Structure 1
Amino acid sequence: MAQVQIVSDGVNYRHHIRSGEHALVADEPVSLGGQAAGMAPFDLYLASLAACTAITLRMYAEKKGWDLGEFRAELSSSRYADGRLQVHRVLHASGVLTEAHWARLLEVVEKTPVTLVMREGATITSEQGP
């Protein structure tokens, strides 16, 4: 499915991430000892959900012949008292959409691939490389 490689260059917490021909930098904010040279891990987590949200809704709208216009999703995270993560999405579209369109989009957004994986969890394994 997906494959990502991350490499540290030894400068605080800055890391270079590659996936195929695409690259980006991850880091921690200065307040946590980083240089703020890139998004922090939880920013990347939200960015993944935001990208899947926008792409899925754009695909769905195109299939239905709906014009989303400019689409924007704003995501934020917080913690419940018991420590569980809570993510909130606010969706915006400049296209003319009816209440029925929005109701359907809000149903579809609950079933995007990344939304489902984040809700269900994933099995994560680790091993030492050669």
Structure 2
Amino acid sequence: MSISVRRDGTSGTRHTVHVRNHAFAVDASPVGGGADAGPSPHDLYDAALASCKALTVLLYAQRKNMPVEDIEVRIERDDSQERQGVYRLKASLHVTGALDEAQRAELLRVAAKCPVHRLMVDVKTEIETGWA
């Protein structure tokens, strides 16, 4: 699979991301020199984690016939020590439905093992950058 990002115009910092048949804008924040015309790359990184946790919980609950109604995952970012090598994310889950405490604990355990969470903390990522 290939993802492309291309500058959106000749001025500013807005770019368009293309993933399969989907396209959306990304931009730097005003603090970062952009116009905030879309989420920043850090926002997308954090959103990938939240999205993965939400989908993982939903799919697991469906497979186990758990009565999940709604799912919300919030990510709080602390990037104050990023330059020192520490990037902290706190995920908070809100799940509605007639779940007992054992089911809630099981869903929390499953959310902590979503593929993106594991990718962020357990996998060594190798990146090669070159000219097209």
- The TM-score with structure 2 as length reference comes to 0.89
Among 85, 92, 95, the alignment partner of 1:93 is 95
Mapped pair 1:25 → 2:28: no
Distance 1:42 1:17 in 2: 14
The letter of the residue matching 1:69 is: E
Partner of 1:124: 127
Deviations 1:84-127 (A, max 9, x none): 01110000012121111111111111211111111124111111
Distance 2:80 2:104 in 1: 28
Distance 2:79 2:5 in 1: 27
Partner of 1:84: 86
Indicate the structure whose relative CO is greater, using CA pairs within 8 Å and at least 6 residues apart: 2
- Stretch moving more, 14-23 or 95-104: 95-104
| Percent of matched pairs sharing the same residue | 30
CA RMSD between the two structures: 1.5
Distance 2:57 2:65 in 1: 12
- The TM-score with structure 1 as length reference comes to 0.91
Among 91, 98, 109, the alignment partner of 2:111 is 109
Which aligned segments of 4 or more residues in structure 1 are displaced greater than 6 angstroms? Answer: none
Which runs of no fewer than 5 residues in structure 2 stay unpaired? none
Alignment coverage as a number of residue pairs = 128
- Stretch moving more, 8-17 or 65-74: 8-17
Which runs of no fewer than 5 residues in structure 1 stay unpaired? none
Partner of 2:64: 64
